[in-house]
A and B are shown apart, each in its own frame.
Chain A
Amino acid sequence: MFAYTVRRLLQFIPTIVAITLIIFLLLNVLPGNAALMAGGKNRLPDDVMEKLKERWGLNKPIHVRYLLYMKDLAQGDLGTSFFAREKVSQMLASRLWPTLKLACTALLIACLLGIPLGFYSALRQGTWVDTVTMVGAVSGVSMPQFWLGLLLMFLFSVQFKLLPTFGYGEGAAVNLILPSLTLGVGYMALLARTTRAAVVEILTQDYVRTARAKGLTKIWVNRKHVFRNTLVLLLTSAGLQFGSLIGETVVVETLFSWPGIGSLLVNSIFYRDTPVTQGCILVIIIGFLVINLVVDLLYGVIDPRIKYQ
């Protein structure tokens, strides 16, 4: 398992190089964007623009800039923001914790509610509980996250005045409730659907019938035979779909003025602050890759039949 982990980590390197190349090309094929934007609506005088381009290193050909970028990246340097005059790595570091806090809380809500709901409705197929859960789940998947956030904000902050509308509130727990709920609902619905489908599939398996036939109690069968096998199926699709949760963080953070990496990304795109945009995207993708690795490693924990070569 250790060797497997190391090899997977080594495989990251070509993937990340390919991703940085794609992202770098995407963000840099139009030279001097930031210099053009720096003056706002008024075009800056040519000599000022030239100076800005020189300071930001935009006057070199693109392949040279990519190599310079990769050289810095290899040393852990993500560059300097065009406008904030701050190291990108520092900006990211200060915003990493709010994002992690938000995403993990949302994930927790989604798992704690979504998996049991899906499990329960699969065991009670065709009853009203099942119908309500599944209608709720397909609605949850179809709901635009930011709209749900707005509705929750209206209900809990404007009408009942129970929770703050938006903002980080110096990390207060009450400020975390609405954003994490907004972010968690979509994923929760997804988990409920996936769990139900997986359980329904497993209930038809021969080993479940055998377990029941040999007189094991229903609870025992569900816990030992059904649940554990569900987790394996669940992990595959839940891990794949985790990317959507990460993507939605961007929207939810912007809606709630949450000082995380997602809102930093959106702002940097507005200002064409390319080094920051690149840094944010890189961090998000690396996070996603790490999660996928963790998912792969979890297979072995849940299902002892899986051996890593």
Chain B
Amino acid sequence: MKDLLKKLKRRTNLVFGTCIVVMMTATAIFAPFLAPYHPVDDADLLYSEEPPSREFLFGTDSQGRDILSRVIYGARISLSVGLLSQLMNSIIGIVLGLTAGYFGKWWDDLVMGLTNIMLSIPAVIFALAIMALLGPGLMNVFIALGLTNWSYTCRITRSQVLFTRDLNYVKAAQALGYGKIRIMFTQILPNIVGPILVIATLGIAGAILMEAALSFLGLGTQPPTPSWGGMLAKAREQIFTTPWISIFPGLAIFTTVLGLNLLGDGLRDFLDPHTAKKI
């Protein structure tokens, strides 16, 4: 136990990151029990733009909705956008990377060409282009972000496949007559899961930031859905009169993304002790 504590102390990133992420996930799951009011239906114009008080801990917005409740429910939107879109990115990246590395030839050239093109388009710009096609809306944010950020996963997967392809355990599997797909998914993939996981964790953080930015621009999640970024869309006009409206949703984004970034960094150090020792 003492040993464990000592070890954990050296892994502050991992500990803090895990704590924040667990807390935010719990908030998202138990939102209906935690939120004092309903995020959309409990609008009361008689109580609009109330400053933080005992009744409304974070104050109310211009339509008299409780900001605390909206921030709590917003965790659901942010986390699900982050998780699902990154899942999509990971799947695209892993499948393309595995097949490109394993089959090689023209398929490899094609995939790598596509990856390089994706890397030469800034992520926000590409997401904006997809949103321009699909129009605003939560579902479309999932799709846009899910198609935007797979190139790193793809590159890493491919390079790891090229490295492991000629190792003995893969050759053994080939000798045993395993099919190509089976080798890819049961022999190669489990051994490269570490770096992919790190990229995915940091990717979730990036996706949450990007959803917030899109919704802030008015091109992402639409009101009245309580999205942290969307809650800040009108914040600039309200900054003179009701500044508290802009503080808490932003703080929620910041904390969540910080937690995920710490977790990602911690995981990387944990999985690759070589760099951890030096840092």
Contacts and interface: CB of A to CB of B under 8 A. Distances in A.
Given A266-B128, A266-B217, 15 more contacts: A27-B129, A142-B258, A142-B260, A145-B213, A147-B250, A147-B253, A150-B235, A158-B239, A244-B123, A246-B122, A251-B216, A254-B217, A255-B236, A270-B218, A288-B121
A284 B125 contact: yes
A22 B265 CA distance: 34
B235 A247 contact: no
B198 interface: no
B199 to A, nearest CB: 14
Contacts of A153: 236, 239
B125 A154 contact: no
Nearest to A193: B265
Contacts of B278: 200-201, 204
B212 A247 contact: no
27 contacts: A15-B117, A22-B117, A26-B129, A27-B129, A27-B133, A30-B133, A138-B261, A138-B262, A139-B254, A142-B257, A142-B261, A146-B232, A147-B254, A151-B246, A153-B236, A154-B239, A243-B121, A243-B122, A251-B216, A255-B236, A265-B125, A266-B219, A269-B128, A277-B129, A284-B125, A285-B121, A288-B122
A235 to B, nearest CB: 16
A209 B112 CA distance: 40
B250 A243 contact: no
A229 to B, nearest CB: 15
Main secondary structure of the interface of B (DSSP, over half): helix
Interface of A: 15, 18-19, 22-23, 26-27, 29-30, 138-139, 141-147, 150-151, 153-154, 158, 165-166, 197, 200-201, 204, 240, 243-244, 246-248, 250-251, 254-255, 265-266, 269-270, 272, 277, 281, 284-285, 288-289, 292
A286 to B, nearest CB: 10
A202 to B, nearest CB: 10
Interface string B124-162: 110011111100000000000000000000000000000
B129 A281 contact: yes
A203 to B, nearest CB: 8
Contacts of B124: 244, 246-248, 250-251
A269 B279 CA distance: 44
B203 to A, nearest CB: 13
B168 interface: no
Contacts of B216: 144, 146, 251, 255
B253 A144 contact: yes
B209 interface: yes
A281 B129 CA distance: 8
